[in-house]
Structure 1
Amino acid sequence: MAVVAPAQAASGSTAGAPHVLVVPYPAQGHMQPLLHLASLLAARGLRLTVVVPTPATARLLAPLLAEHPSSVRPLAFPSAADHDTSGPTSVGADFHAHAAALRGPLGEWLRSRAARPDSGDGETGRVVAVISDFFCGWTQPLAAEAGVPRLVFAPSGVLATAATHSLFRRMPRPPVGDPGRGYAVSFPALPGAPAFPWRQISRMYRTYVEGGGGEHSEAIKDNYLWNLESAAFVCNTCHPIEGKYLDAQPLEDLAGKRAWAVGSVAPPPESKGEDDPASDVTAWLDAFPDSSVAYVGFGTMMVPPPPHAAALASALERSGTPFVWAAAATTLPDEFEERAAAAGTGLVLRGWAPQVAALRHRAVGCFVTHCGWNSVMESSAAGVPMLAWPMAADQFFNARLVVEEACVAVAASWGGFGVVPDAEDLARALTEVLGEAGAGMRARAKELALMVAEAVGEGGSSRRELDGLVEELRELGSLG
């Protein structure tokens, strides 16, 4: 077995510390929060080996390795080079290929490290636990065979994580003859027994039930069922946002396993002065009054279809809302960019966008978002109300949290990809969030931000959960 890992000497400070294997899923929205968690664990004295899932994702590990050179080691397998899933993925064939490329060599590596005595060396020392992304359920049987516990890292909130696992555990489906138009899936084991229309249920699950995914759908089902065999879940969430579900533990839909709420795992933003790549955007925002600008961003993997983008563009112009749009590959209406630039009321960004810095700018008063979990956490931490526009995956669960429970968002549309909202309705929603009618919502968003900051601060709920997780890993290390 060929393994690629640069030689690094373990420092005395980590000798004898528990050694944990970390396995990310190769999509940026999944990798980044797990690497942030890895940094928090390393800062608390744990030794980590972090799998490099594909060559293209190696750059994402660079900051972690630079910050913790003596306690974090990368582990790359040449077999993964032929299965690069680091671009926008559909969690189908790419999902299957990722597992196929790594399962054999990683299993061999784990068995050899789990069986040997602990040498105190991060490269050869005994592995006491595996922490892997919830799309890496295939690591559960590897960990079980090696005799070590596996903890599932959920980059989503606990509501979405529990509901998605519930689907594959209970297998609800529309009645025979009903294509799902009038069918709603209820989750009776969750607090409040929430229900969601069939079209808002994850496409992964609907594809499985409707029989269109073949072996890839079977692999996804196996993934979630393996997760339910794990020792625990580690969720990038916090009590201020999801206390209703965290306080209801143990959750039947997570097989009664403990869910550690350690979020937000992202480090606090740092200003880099004139060298800050966000400075051009923040300088542009400086010209606007407080809470007057809409920041528009649909994440790294979500591209709104042209009709949806056109409806939003029209709404921004009709309402006269100043905006920053992280458009990436989004197709915008002809001359929309030029008109906004000429009027000085809109800034369209292609490529990287400084979302965290923009959301924390005083001028931004609304975040038009697909409600991906990372975006929800960033907006909550920044104290910015949302115009929620869920499209797929876990986003409808997340939108329900911020619109109906936290009351820090207004729904732009519940129709996902299948429904193009009316531009006039979107314009009214923008005006509601940014205008006088949104004052109460803005106040609630600021209160939520304070609570989120307290949660990750000294003595806060997320800090206590993180410390408890570390103590559990240390206890596992002492057993060997």
Structure 2
Amino acid sequence: MAISEAGAHILIFPYPAQGHMIPLLDLTHQLALRNLTITILVTPKNLHYLNPLLIKHPSIHPLVLPFPRTDSIPDGVENVRDLPSGGFLSMMTALFDLYHPMLNWFRKHPSPPVAIVSDIFLGWTNRLAAELNIPRYVFSPSGVLAMSIACNVWRDMPKRNDPTDENEVIKFSDIPNSPSHNRWKLSPMFRRHVEGDPQSEALKGFHMGNVVSRGFVFNSFTELERVYLDYMKKFLGHDQVWAVGPLLPSEEERVGRGGANQILAGEIKSWLDQFEDATVVYVCFGSQAVLTNKQMEMLALGLEKSGARFLWSSKEPTTGHMVGEYGMIPSGFEDRVAGRGLIVKGWAPQVAILSHPAVGAFLTHCGWNSVLEAIAAGVPMLTWPMGADQFANADLLDELEVGTRVCEGERRLPDPDNLARLITTSVSDEKEVRSGRAKVLSKAALGSTQKDGTSYRAVNNLVDHLSNPKQL
């Protein structure tokens, strides 16, 4: 393990969404193990996320800055999870108002950080770093393929041939395997861009701030996305690109990750313990997505018709306008599937569930953290991408032969008969090809983080880079 004699001081700035913050905090743990001195910037209501790190690492210090007040975000909300759908843009804009408080803190600090590592949605910190004459590094909680597409979109701003056609295909011919997406699958922030509009141009500037930053750090691993890592180095024009994943919780942190309590985790484990290996389908759509009642109905019907055993972590709506129209389990469903189906209302200990031998498939929205957790556990996926980077992630799973598409789009409905067939197949003897591929990727994922693995070495190289003044 590389140990920095200088103990270089680094500022870590996570974006306040659970799927973004947790992997960057996992990376921070790895950096602290290698003797870096670290300050983490958070707003008051997100300070509790740092508690496990602060207990383990006295070299980590929180920088707590008041959340900028804004009309677009309800009072007291400082985390995207508590915002209405589409809250990312409002949060990005609000956090830009931390620019001057951060600048003042740097200038008053007796030994300020020599570099900034911040989330992809905080591209404006590159401008701040330039003003301070220090480098900024991008942390991507998304995969390399997804970020390759995002960087292309914001750099090239592909024009529309037909302004009314959301199905128009956008091709990315210079990216390996030439991915192509319907326009409606691209980032909504890009699709809403209006040339000349001040907010749109500022948002584009945030994204381009990533492209011109000193380097990229990905929560991925070389064996998973080698061709896309090589492409990103070519696209950026330098080799300061590090794949340091999968960033996953330790064994002792698996149950608590995401807020699940010990009693619930124990009940879930006891339920899963009843079943043979690889015979249960785990269903979860992450911390953000809430299904409409019609989607819930079609999903429940597919699960019921499949006859398969399943564990469904169903997120309930958190905002008033969604209550009654989203997230309702169909009446009588739980009784009809009693014994072979378990429904957990709210967050479940996902890493622990995926690691259980009884789980043989994962029906997922293809959020990158979920994808990596399933890959590390060796579990094939049934994919229902809904937005953001999820379509690119599902494409990657298709390419790797560990994913089977069951639906796509946040408003679309799965065909319950087709869904039932795919669910049944995912835990039957027909699953062997994808199951075998998943096991190969799992071995590669776990090996990458062991001593002398590709990701282990990448973290060491990143620390050496941050600690060498000549490289900065």
TM-score by length of 2: 0.89
SS at match of 1:251: helix
**Which range moved further: 54-63 or 271-280?**
271-280
SS at match of 1:349: strand
Task: Please show how residues 51-90 of structure 1 align to structure 2 within 5 Å.
Answer: 51-52=41-42, 54-68=43-57, 70-80=58-68, 84-88=77-81, 89=83, 90=86
Query: Residue in 2 aligned with 1:455?
Result: 448
CA distance in 2, matches of 1:280, 1:214: 53
Query: How far apart are 1:111 and its partner, in Å?
Result: 3.5
CA deviation vs aligned residue, 1:373-427 (integer Å, no higher than 9, x gap) = 0000000000000001000000000000012x1101110113x024212101111
Q: Are residue 290 (structure 1) and residue 277 (structure 2) matched?
A: yes
Task: Please show how residues 244-283 of structure 1 align to structure 2 within 5 Å.
Answer: 244-252=227-235, 254=236, 256=238, 258-270=240-252, 278-283=265-270
Task: Please show how residues 37-48 of structure 1 align to structure 2 within 5 Å.
Answer: 37-48=27-38
Query: Residue in 1 aligned with 2:332?
Result: 335
Cα pair distance change 1:256/1:474, threshold 3 Å: closer
CA deviation vs aligned residue, 1:173-228 (integer Å, no higher than 9, x gap) = 321454232x111112211221111121121211215x8x9654333212111111
Query: Residue in 2 aligned with 1:9?
Result: none
SS at match of 1:459: coil
Q: Are residue 443 (structure 1) and residue 436 (structure 2) matched?
A: yes
Identity of matched residues, %: 39
2:208 to 201, 225, 234: 225
CA distance in 2, matches of 1:379, 1:87: 24
CA deviation vs aligned residue, 1:288-339 (integer Å, no higher than 9, x gap) = 1111111111111111222222111101000111111111212221222343
1:187 to 172, 176, 180: 172
CA distance in 2, matches of 1:272, 1:426: 30
Cα pair distance change 1:165/1:81, threshold 3 Å: same
Query: Residue in 2 aligned with 1:117?
Result: none
Query: Residue in 2 aligned with 1:174?
Result: 160
Aligned-pair Cα RMSD in Å: 2.3
Query: How far apart are 1:344 and its partner, in Å?
Result: 1.2
CA deviation vs aligned residue, 1:72-101 (integer Å, no higher than 9, x gap) = 00001135477633042421222211222x
- Tell me, yes or no, if the aligned pair for 1:233 and 1:257 is still in contact at 8 Å: no
- Tell me, yes or no, if the aligned pair for 1:110 and 1:142 is still in contact at 8 Å: no
Q: Are residue 109 (structure 1) and residue 93 (structure 2) matched?
A: no
Query: Residue in 1 aligned with 2:91?
Result: 94
- Tell me, yes or no, if the aligned pair for 1:250 and 1:256 is still in contact at 8 Å: yes
CA distance in 2, matches of 1:479, 1:452: 29
- Tell me, yes or no, if the aligned pair for 2:80 and 2:91 is still in contact at 8 Å: no
Cα pair distance change 1:232/1:356, threshold 3 Å: same
Query: How far apart are 1:276 and its partner, in Å?
Result: 7.0
- Tell me, yes or no, if the aligned pair for 2:4 and 2:467 is still in contact at 8 Å: no
Q: Are residue 386 (structure 1) and residue 381 (structure 2) matched?
A: yes
Q: Are residue 426 (structure 1) and residue 412 (structure 2) matched?
A: no
Cα pair distance change 1:67/1:396, threshold 3 Å: same
Query: Residue in 2 aligned with 1:311?
Result: 298
Q: What is the letter of the counterpart of residue 78 of structure 1?
A: P
CA deviation vs aligned residue, 1:95-127 (integer Å, no higher than 9, x gap) = 211222x111012212444xxxxxxxxxx4231
SS at match of 2:360: strand
SS at match of 1:125: coil
Q: What is the letter of the counterpart of residue 154 of structure 1?
A: S
- Tell me, yes or no, if the aligned pair for 2:4 and 2:34 is still in contact at 8 Å: no
Query: How far apart are 1:153 and its partner, in Å?
Result: 0.2
Q: What is the letter of the counterpart of residue 344 of structure 1?
A: G
CA deviation vs aligned residue, 1:219-240 (integer Å, no higher than 9, x gap) = 3212111111100000000022
- Tell me, yes or no, if the aligned pair for 1:55 and 1:80 is still in contact at 8 Å: no
**Which range moved further: 77-86 or 417-426?**
77-86
- Tell me, yes or no, if the aligned pair for 1:326 and 1:348 is still in contact at 8 Å: yes
- Tell me, yes or no, if the aligned pair for 1:269 and 1:356 is still in contact at 8 Å: no
Query: Residue in 1 aligned with 2:322?
Result: none
Q: What is the letter of the counterpart of residue 140 of structure 1?
A: N
2:122 to 109, 129, 136: 136
Query: Residue in 1 aligned with 2:319?
Result: none
CA distance in 1, matches of 2:60, 2:466: 16
CA distance in 2, matches of 1:387, 1:173: 33
CA distance in 1, matches of 2:189, 2:66: 29
Structure 2 alignment gaps of length 5 or more: 317-326
Query: How far apart are 1:58 and its partner, in Å?
Result: 1.1
- Tell me, yes or no, if the aligned pair for 1:85 and 1:98 is still in contact at 8 Å: no
Q: Are residue 360 (structure 1) and residue 355 (structure 2) matched?
A: yes
CA distance in 2, matches of 1:126, 1:479: 18
Query: How far apart are 1:14 and its partner, in Å?
Result: 8.6
TM-score by length of 1: 0.88
Structure 1 alignment gaps of length 5 or more: 1-12, 114-123
